[in-house]
Amino acid sequence: MRDKLVTVRGSKLYLSKLIVLSIWTIGSLGVTIWLAIQPWNPIALFTGMLFLVTCIGWYSILTDKDGKEHDKAIADFSKAIELDPADAKAYRNRGLAYYYKREYDKAMADFNKAIDLNPEYAEGYYNRGTAYGAKGEYDKAIADFNKVIDLDPEYALAYGTRGLAYYYKGEYDKAIADYNKVGLYAECARAYRTRGFAYTKLGEKEKAISDFEKCIELSENPALTQEVQEMLDKLRA
């Protein structure tokens, strides 16, 4: 469930890594200039330290291959929280590191704290929703995704993951409606897979075949491709 609810992590991992590196480069230059102008300015020193530990934490998550780097990321984000206990983003970031370790209760606690600090924090609700989904608590997940959409009607991932939660609840019409609203965000292969399965459940064979074909076209995951190809073969038989 974890991998299915966070379908974009693998497909956007490399892009996210480049973004973090870009932010690191630009931000480091800005902080360096600030410190050069005002070397003993406490705000500049604090900002530079917070920026440093946050970037290190995110880079640890994005370059992690065996799970060990998540612990380093948690330590870095914990340091950021020590520097600024009111930083909702630091709690959310640490929550993501716990989430990727499948420590959902710890992740949930951090997401809750982020939301307490910033009740309008769409990303906090979204991440808590994915954690609920990973635990099989689909109604709570849907409630959080609803909140995200209330805060930001253009938050495409919220529609996609809410659609997936509806699918696992057996509410296939609602699942399809959500995927249709966002045009299957980011040309995601798994999104086409899920909508295809929903169409299959509703007996809409041709629409299911079309989605499965698109999924295979986009997929870079051999296991996903094989799964969908097998379903496609059954529908065509």
Average the pLDDT over each of 4-8, 35-39, 50-54, 164-168 and give the range with the smallest value: 4-8
Q: How far is CA 54 from the centre of its chain?
A: 17
The whole-number pLDDT of residue 149 equals 95
In the structure, what pLDDT confidence band is assigned to residue 1 with cuts at 50, 70 and 90? very low
Mean per-residue pLDDT for 30-57? 45
For residue 232, is it left (φ>0), alpha (ψ between -120 and 50) or beta?
alpha
Instruction: Rank 10-19, 67-76, 142-151 by mean pLDDT and report only the highest.
Output: 142-151
Q: What is the pLDDT of residues 119-174, one digit of tens each?
A: 999 999 999 999 999 999 999 999 999 999 999 998 888 888 898 899 999 999 99
E strand or H helix that includes residue 178: helix 172-181
Distance between CA 87 and CA 146 in Å, rounded?
Answer: 24
Sequence-distant (6+) residues with CB within 8 A of 216 are 189, 225, 228, 229, 232
Distance between CA 219 and CA 237 in Å, rounded?
Answer: 23
Q: Is the pLDDT of residue 103 over 60?
A: yes
The whole-number pLDDT of residue 30 equals 47
Measured CA distances, 8 to 47, 123, 205 (Å) = 30, 14, 27
The whole-number pLDDT of residue 186 equals 52
Domains of the chain, earliest start first: 2-170 (1.25.40.10), 188-237 (no CATH)
